[in-house]
Structure 1
């Protein structure tokens, strides 16, 4: 009985993942990242943050450890990037978007800030996206510097 129940649950999970059309997930997620980069590049951190889940359960994992919550993440970005020179121009590349079901996906990629006066920086990231109230948002962000 338990074997049949486990097998049935596994088949249900595999069917849910198999029926997720990658394009149906990838396009909207690429749009979130494009919109974020455009907001960053015009110096608008609050608009950049619209790509994140506005929740106390948002988690951002960086070099200083985890930060929980949308507001705390916004505050950290504002402290770390106080002006346009510190922000520079953001580019995302090498994006690998993998659907994890009809309402979840993860993205692995690279980020790069071109900053003529402050020096360029960049690194890699792993983002977890979920569809919340019909919108794709980042619910977890693990970003590192090179």
Structure 2
């Protein structure tokens, strides 16, 4: 996923999400499913490598809840020029026909470049 984002392949990034009915929550708002989220990424992050930035996931932990369900929690860092955003990402995975897909994605983020209380990046 990280590699797909960093090369500007938003469809590739979204390939691991349940289409069409994945639930995305970010910035206190629900996105409109898979297509709405893809449209958001293209609109807000597409067009150039500078707008997209470089994404890095770290400190990821997976908890298998059942044979067909798992939860991931981790951190991410997105560097877009001088703007640096970090946050926590929580994902619920379900297994469909032998393949794990993300059915729920929740992101909480903060702007490191404007937050004096932000922790150091890892």
TM-score grouping bracket, smaller chain normalisation: 0.7 to 0.9
Instruction: Name the residue aligned to 2:120.
Output: none
> Which residues in structure 2 correspond to 1:1-146 (within 5 Å)?
36-55=1-20, 57-82=21-46, 83-115=48-80, 117-146=81-110
Deviation at 1:64, TM superposition (A): 4.4
The 3-state SS of whatever aligns with 1:120 is: strand
Please identify runs of 4+ aligned residues in structure 1 that moved more than 2 A.
none
Flag the structure with larger Rg.
1
How many residues are paired up? 109
* Structure 1 residue 124 displacement after superposition: 0.5
Mark the runs of 5 or more structure 2 residues left unpaired by the alignment: 111-122
Structure 1 unaligned segments of length 5 or more: list them: 1-35
Cα deviation digits, residues 93-139 of structure 1 (max 9, x gap):
11110001011100111011122x25111111110011112211110
Shift of 1:78: 1.1
Cα distance in 1 for partners of 2:12, 2:92 equals: 19
Deviations 1:52-92 (A, max 9, x none): 1112x210001141123211111111122023212111111
Give CA-to-partner distance per residue, 1:8-49, whole Å, 9 cap, x none: xxxxxxxxxxxxxxxxxxxxxxxxxxxx00101111111101
Q: Which has the higher helix share?
A: 1
